[in-house]
Structure 1
């Protein structure tokens, strides 16, 4: 594996660390099995929690079977909608200030969140639940 990274770095003129980062970008953490899910309860909001991001961190989402990365800034208020089975990651949804993300009302059928806001996974250690 390391030899392959060094060869990649030499051929493409990138550092070994950059080559490793690109390789890792196509692997999702084992505890994340898909995109953020919402709903599933006819009498409760589609997302049951509301909180704040404690530090600027990576937002991981899955598009066409591959991981995509974005960032979430510190002090961003988000809806918490899902968690990984091992509780290491929180599935969040957030939009621009005042934007309705469509998750503060019931969605009876459990389903993958499709927008209009951003969604993805952050490490649970970077999230503080404020309500829910």
Structure 2
């Protein structure tokens, strides 16, 4: 059990270190800013649903600067967009049972403003379950 906790901490630390390194280059070329939702009057604001496979860093933007948080392993999330190169997934998630407002249509394409957390994780750490 202790070895698993250390391995998880190392993966998270490496992920944060890489994200901070990316910050020096401003935004990674594959990410366009905050997570966007909606744009289709007939479809849910976010078309996918999945699970985070390992504790990893969550990258978001505030006033043009990167901010970092973490997403825990086994967190269920809505997947709303993918980066141009497919390396990152834009996700939204809340507390268990919380309605994030993305499972129904939002006709106009817009930046997600809450009430839940949103940001980008590496696609390697995400598994699509539906959508």
Same fold (TM over 0.5): yes
Match of 2:23 in 1: 25
TM-superposed CA distance for 1:25, in Å, is: 3.4
Gaps of 5+ in 2: 1-18
Residues 1:97 and 2:96 are matched in the alignment: yes
| Structure-1-length-normalised TM-score | 0.81
Q: Deviations over 1:67-95 (max 9, x none)?
A: 00000000000000011111110000000
Equivalences for residues 110-125 of structure 1 within 5 A: 110-125=109-124
How many residue pairs match? The answer is 113
Q: Deviations over 1:20-42 (max 9, x none)?
A: x8675352211111110000110
| Structure-2-length-normalised TM-score | 0.82
Larger radius of gyration: 1
Runs of 4+ in 1 over 6 A off after TM superposition: none
Match of 1:131 in 2: 130
Match of 1:66 in 2: 65
CA–CA distance in structure 2, aligned partners of residues 83 and 22 of structure 1: 21
Gaps of 5+ in 1: 1-20
